[in-house]
Amino acid sequence: MLARKAILSVAGNRFMTRAMTRHGLKIGAGRFVAGVSLQDAVEATKRLNDQGLAVTLDLLGEGVTSRDDARAMAEGCAEILGAIERERLDANLSVKPTQLGLTIDPEVAMANAAHLQDIARQAGIFIRVDMESSDTVDATLDVVKRLHAREPNVGTVIQAYLYRSPKDLQELAELGMNVRLVKGAYLEPPSVAYPAKADVDVAFKQLIAQHLSAGCYTAVATHDDAIIAFTESFVREKGIPRSQFEFQMLYGIRPERQRELARAGYRTRVYVPFGVHWYPYFVRRLAERPANVWFVLANLMKP
């Protein structure tokens, strides 16, 4: 926990941000980010599809503060939808609500998301609205529910570390929504989230059981073998078909395990982030696993 806080605070430093944005893809971030351009992401997607892995594409950029930037982000996402259709990729789209303008005004995010949803609907593509820090959850759920009422090609994410999540998930299950379940990646106070990893793991398993038992499509997004094993035995025991769930992992994290799950016949999807604004995403991946800081430092030492 201390290492996580230290990484998040050093990484937020302005000098670090500037230096890393300039050189970071060369010194290690390229392991977690597919590149800066849509073409880079399309090529990474094709390589993964060839290995039997589905993809969700994510144009990096969050916490957008102007309407023009939010609109530009939405246009970037629309280009992804175009590429998925044109290149016949086995892929869908993940978007961050603050990237579409949620913190400017939830109506801005709603309008941008609805625009994307219309394009996606025509192409038969699913959109996942990612979940960000706890202060954005209410507004995000509100936007997602409204989008889902327009067309059910939209789902969202529920974070196991938040105390509120069982209730939120129940409401989404009543709508029959496709939900991605995760542990949660943001630094949250103990007033809203379990501070201990063991409690998050218990909560995660309960949410998986809850959503699968409700008959809803469930994306179990984790690199944790204990959670994967729990899901495998739960679906076996309850006779839940493989068409009702999938496993998801992040680009560059446990790639061998991703292929192993696909070979075992599980639908497995890789979250492929790309774009020039890759730094905050990269920092969250380092903070989750401080050992990765050594991986970056080792690359720095290379001639």
Ligand X SMILES: Cc1cc2nc3c(=O)[nH]c(=O)nc-3n(C[C@H](O)[C@H](O)[C@H](O)COP(=O)(O)OP(=O)(O)OC[C@H]3O[C@@H](n4cnc5c(N)ncnc54)[C@H](O)[C@@H]3O)c2cc1C
Q: Minimum Å distance from CB 253 to ligand X? A: 5
Q: Which of 33, 216, 250, 261 binds ligand X (CB under 6 A)?
A: 250
Check if the beta carbon of residue 137 is closer than 8 Å to that of residue 171. no
Q: Which of 230, 245, 271, 281 binds ligand X (CB under 6 A)?
A: 271
Q: Which of 58, 128, 168, 180 is catalytic?
A: 180
Instruction: Compute how many other C-beta atoms are within 10 angstroms of the C-beta atom of residue 33.
Output: 26
Angle subtended at Cα 194 by Cα 193 and Cα 196, rounded to the nearest 5 degrees: 145
Q: Is 130 a catalytic residue?
A: yes
Q: Minimum Å distance from CB 195 to ligand X? A: 14
What are the structure tokens assigned to 14, written together?
A: 């302005």
Chain positions 180 to 239 lying near ligand X, rule: CB under 6 A, are 182-186, 221-224
Q: Which of 130, 168, 269, 284 is catalytic?
A: 130
CB of 67 or CB of 163, closer to ligand X: 163
Q: What's the rounded Cα separation, in Å, for the pair 246 and 7?
A: 31
Sign of CA dihedral 60, 20, 17, 282: positive
Q: Which amino acid is at 40?
A: D
Stretch that binds ligand X, among 60-68, 73-81, 168-176, 179-187 (CB under 6 A): 179-187
CB of 110 or CB of 205, closer to ligand X: 205
3-state class (DSSP) for residue 293: helix
Instruction: Compute how many other C-beta atoms are within 10 angstroms of the C-beta atom of residue 11.
Output: 18
Q: Which of 157, 173, 220, 261 binds ligand X (CB under 6 A)?
A: 157
Chain positions 34 to 73 lying near ligand X, rule: CB under 6 A, are none
For the chain, the C-alpha Rg in angstroms (whole number) is: 18
In sequence order, what DSSP letters do the residues of 179-230 get, joined into one string? EEEE---S---TTTB--SHHHHHHHHHHHHHHHHHTT--EEEE---HHHHHH
Regarding 268 and contact with ligand X (CB under 6 A), the answer is no
CB of 67 or CB of 192, closer to ligand X: 192
How many residues bind ligand X, per CB under 6 A?
Answer: 23
Alpha-carbon 54 to chain mean position: 14
Q: Which of 45, 210, 248, 258 binds ligand X (CB under 6 A)?
A: 248
Regarding 258 and contact with ligand X (CB under 6 A), the answer is no
CB of 146 or CB of 289, closer to ligand X: 289
Q: Minimum Å distance from CB 256 to ligand X? A: 12
Residue nearest to ligand X (CB): 223
Query: Residue-wise over 193-205: b if at least 16 C-beta within 10 A, else e?
Result: bbeeeeebbebbb
What are the structure tokens assigned to 294, written together?
A: 């050594």
Q: HSE, CB side, 13 Å, CA atoms: give it for residue 20.
A: 21
Q: Which of 106, 112, 125, 130 binds ligand X (CB under 6 A)?
A: 130
Interface mask toward ligand X for 71-110; x: CB under 6 A:
----------------------------------------
Residues noted as catalytic: 130, 180
Q: What is the binding site for ligand X (CB under 6 A)?
A: 130-131, 157, 159, 182-186, 221-224, 248-250, 253-254, 271, 285, 288-289, 292
